[in-house]
Structure 1
Amino acid sequence: MSSVAVAELPDRFIVTLDRPAQRNAIDAQMISELHDICATIERNPKPLLLTGRGDHFAGGADINQLRARTRDDALAGINRNLFDRIAKLPLPTVAAVNGYALGGGAELAYACDIRIATPTAVFGNPEPGLGIMAAAGASYRLPSLIGISVAKQVLLGGRNLDAGTALQTGLILEITEDHLAAAHKLLDRMARQSPLALRLTKTIVNAPGSHPWADDIAQAVLFETEDKYQRMTAFLEKR
């Protein structure tokens, strides 16, 4: 039985974590299926909407499996490699979050480009209470998303971020009762934009350091496209 549901539309993929009885806890099967989905999106780039079925996004990693993991499993970066792969998908990714996004579930949400949440959403990384650390991207993603001070409150102090705090710190775009409708509205807006412009923008924004030369090269590529000419012509003619 699959732990992830996938729907492919003409302009987006919709991926739903589908273990609601386990609060969509991330287990080995889900990791494998998400890798397969990433491979599909890499071959046929489209924006991604990621959500969880039921009352929660993902309550964390499967503790039964996590308890059995060894040093070699940690060095293999099982969850981290997946979340890094999701972060590197060519086109924008949107996480629609309700309920718990804790531990590995929070790190999966952090790996997406934009997050939208319901009032019930809770983000947190309680890993140190289980004798481990948040090692699947939180240490380098969360500080860049919400600032190092608040990130330390979460990663060291065990602070959970409710929806209001997540909005205040910039972790999420908006709070809404219908997070899926809001996510689709955002993806509708993205779908009207240039896919290549979105792809190059995401690549450059994610690249470390200052890189003005890369901006120039990417813009040079876009300036030479027929898509740019047609879009600007349409804009001018409408005006």
Structure 2
Amino acid sequence: MSADLLLTLPAAAGYEHICMLQLNRPAYANAYNTALLEALLAALRQLKERPEVRALLICGAGERAFCAGADRHELKERRFQDGIDLLSRTVFDQLAALPLPTVACINGAAMGGGLELALACDARICSPHAVFALPELSLDLTPAAGGMRRLPALVGLGRAKEMILFQRRLDALEACNWGLVAHQGADYQSQALAWAARAAALDPLALRLAKQLLDVDAVPMQREFEAFTQALLYERNFQRVNT
């Protein structure tokens, strides 16, 4: 396990069946790089082989941010194939498909890919200081790790367009009112644990089947279009800088 990702089981005393994954790059607002994403993917695969784990919490270290998205230094070098095989898309889709209930415990800003990470969870609980945005268009890119697919299902198409096309940022109260998060408040950590514990107490097979039924992909081609769009933009931006 990478030092940039901490896995704790149980998440806290009295919560024996709940695992916690913590993004541990507070100096970088918990922005993810390739090493962190690979560690997260390995952890998700490991959790599939641990039947004692019945729920997962994901959080960010420190108080500044849940996750600021992709590391900007790596973005500069991405090309066409990187967009097609975007690692964050693979990891977040694996998280969304995990046969466990998952809760994002959002301690601060969830920006870009950080919000896409939270969207891949089954529920989101946030602190009153949390901020949410998908600023990719300001970087000449698009949200390509599931944001285009998952955000409209949560908040509706019109509101998703406000956030993506018009770069609207939401504070914690707005996010709660929109249905982006299920609860916001100073008690967000205890609430996130309570939500995870409630789901962990249910029959694992019934819960797994219910999650699969709820997550049936109604737009199977959307993931491929998401990948191709980002691939074109990565290549265009790389050529701009290097020609």
Aligning the two structures, in what range does the TM-score lie when normalised by the shorter sequence? 0.7 to 0.9
Q: Which amino acid aligns with 2:169?
A: N
Greater Cα shift, 36-45 or 153-162: 36-45
**Per chain length, whose mean CA-contact separation is higher, i.e. which structure has more relative contact order (CA < 8 Å, sep 6+)?**
2
Separation of aligned partners in 1, 2:162 and 2:186: 27
Where do 1:95-114 residues align within 5 Å?
95-114=104-123
Separation of aligned partners in 2, 1:77 and 1:19: 21
2:232 aligned partner: none
1:6 aligned partner: 7
Q: State yes or no: 1:128 paired with 2:137.
A: yes
Count of residue pairs brought into register by the alignment: 209
Q: State yes or no: 1:26 paired with 2:35.
A: no
Q: Structure 2: any 5+ residue segments left out of the alignment?
A: 11-15, 219-243
Q: Which amino acid aligns with 1:123?
A: F
Deviations 1:184-209 (A, max 9, x none): 11122122211111111101100135
Where do 1:58-97 residues align within 5 Å?
58-97=67-106
Separation of aligned partners in 2, 1:114 and 1:191: 13
Please provide the CA RMSD for this pair.
1.1
Separation of aligned partners in 2, 1:49 and 1:73: 28
Quote how far apart the aligned CAs of 1:182 are: 1.0
Deviations 1:127-157 (A, max 9, x none): 1111111111011100001100000011111
Separation of aligned partners in 2, 1:94 and 1:159: 24
8 Å CA contact 2:18, 2:197 repeated in 1: no
Separation of aligned partners in 1, 2:49 and 2:202: 20
8 Å CA contact 2:112, 2:135 repeated in 1: yes
TM-score, normalising length: structure 2: 0.83
Separation of aligned partners in 1, 2:165 and 2:104: 24
Separation of aligned partners in 1, 2:147 and 2:126: 18
TM-score, normalising length: structure 1: 0.85
Quote how far apart the aligned CAs of 1:161 are: 1.3
> Greater share of helix residues, 1 or 2?
1
Q: 1:15 aligns with which of 10, 18, 21?
A: 21
1:39 aligned partner: 45
Q: Structure 1: any 5+ residue segments left out of the alignment?
A: 210-239
Q: State yes or no: 1:49 paired with 2:57.
A: yes
Q: 2:206 aligns with which of 177, 180, 197?
A: 197
Q: 2:127 aligns with which of 118, 126, 130?
A: 118
Q: 1:168 aligns with which of 177, 180, 190?
A: 177
Quote how far apart the aligned CAs of 1:120 are: 0.6
- Partner of 2:9, secondary structure, is strand
Residue identity over aligned pairs, in percent, reads 38
